[in-house]
Structures are given as C-alpha cells and as structure tokens.
Amino acid sequence: DVKVTQSSRYLVKRTGEKVFLECVQDMDHENMFWYRQDPGLGLRLIYFSYDVKMKEKGDIPEGYSVSREKKERFSLILESASTNQTSMYLCATGQGRRETQYFGPGTRLLVL
Amino acid sequence: GEDVEQSLFLSVREGDSSVINCTYTDSSSTYLYWYKQEPGAGLQLLTYIFSNMDMKQDQRLTVLLNKKDKHLSLRIADTQTGDSAIYFCAESTKGSSASKIIFGSGTRLSIRP
C-alpha cells in the first residue's frame, strides 16, 4: 500500500510566521503535489514536482514555495503566513499512465 | 481552461441508489476518476475510467461516461451509512510539462435513515 504522511494534522500559526508543511511518501513515486481544499472550491493545485529539484507552479502558487531535495519528500513553505491561507492542505503522489494520485491525510492550518 | 463541475450536495435514503453527476470540459482527458473523502481524511481513489470506455462496474459502483456530452456519473447501489462522504470527480489533463488532475468541488453525500 502507498503511504503518504504529512508532518502535522493540525497547525495554528500567527500572521507573518514562516510555515513548513512536510510530505513524505514511501513508494518511490516520481510526481508529488500540494493542494489546498476550501469549502465549495474543491481542490486547487498549488505546486507540483515531477522529479527531485524540479517544481512547477499550479493554479494558485502565490504566497507559497516548495522544495524537493529528495524524491520521497516534498515541502510546502508559506514564507509569511496570512489569514487567507487558513485552509486544509493535502499532499499527493502519483506515477504511471493512469496518473492516479494517492493522498495524505491532510494538514488543517489556521492562521490567526 | 479546464473545468470540472458537480453539484455540492446530495441526500438519499439508506438502501436507495445514489447518483452523483459531473461535467468536464477537456475533451482530450485520458482518464476520469472518482475520489472519496471521509471526514477528517485525505482523498481515496474509488474508481477510474479510461476515456474510450462508456461504463465500468465494480461491486456496488457503476461509472457511466458520455464522452459526447462530457458527462460522468457515479452510481452507488444500496447506499449505506458508510457511504457518507464527499465525492470528487476529476479528469486528467496535459500540463506544460506533466499531466495534471483537475478536481471538481466535491459532492457531499448524506444518508437519511
């Protein structure tokens, strides 16, 4: 079974803080993704990576950056957290023709 | 751009069939997916269909694809309380350097006794 873990289930941060969300997968998948999920908006892609040290902007990259130094780990960074970044953050991995994605349990971030 | 649309809520009686509908815009999608999200959890792949198929059945789940109308549906037979969840429709689409998956906003399925 694919296992995708995220560093925290719940996180509370203050406006202006730097926030790191980590995602680790154990299936040697090439592709990794960061989404945010908001009610009524579904999942929106922030960034994705299809190889180590490679990254590509998704649909809403503003205010975020990512790091992929090792194949199994994909980090999402909020350089200066703002209240509109309060959301559920989901990491996913994928590989293969079917492009099936496997999701972590999510991190619910509250920015005060 | 690519878009996937689905209604936000569906309520069905326990034991009835649930039908969740979805429309998409990218006619070149290779695969279409249904994901399930239970409370407090990430998304879990339920089933997928290749774009050259029009139906796929897997136990209580039936997926119908109408490629001409770009319409996808998920039918859950004999709906149970454990089926309460948010169901996401998604399509694969080619990005500039890699394939991406575009998700709908999710349909929250609730079960009435």
Backbone angles phi, psi at A84, to 5 degrees: -75, 5
On whether any CB of chain B is under 8 Å from the CB of A1, the answer is no
Cα B38 to chain centroid, rounded: 14
> Hey, are the CB atoms on A100 and B95 less than 8 Å from each other?
no
**Alpha carbon of B48: minimum distance to chain A alpha carbons (Å):** 8
* pLDDT tens column, B11-63: 999 999 999 999 998 877 788 999 999 988 889 999 999 888 999 999 999 99
Per-residue exposure over A65-102, b if at least 16 CB sit within 10 Å of its own CB, e if not: ebbbeeebebbbbbeebeeebbbbbbbbbbbeeebbbb
Lowest mean pLDDT among A67-76, A103-112, B97-106: B97-106
Determine what percent of chain B falls in helix, strand and coil, rounding each to the nearest 5.
Answer: 5, 60, 40
Average pLDDT over residues A39-51: 89
B42 vs A48, A97, A106: nearest CB: A106
Locate the chain A residue with the closest alpha carbon to B50.
Answer: A98
Question: What are the pLDDT digits (tens) for A63-104?
Answer: 999 999 999 999 999 999 999 999 999 999 987 656 788 899
CA triple A60-A61-A62, angle to 5 deg? 95
pLDDT tens, position by position, A9-25:
999 999 999 999 999 99
Chain B residues with CB-CB distance to A98 below 8 A: 31, 48
Q: Is A4 within 8 Å of A100 (Cβ atoms)?
A: no
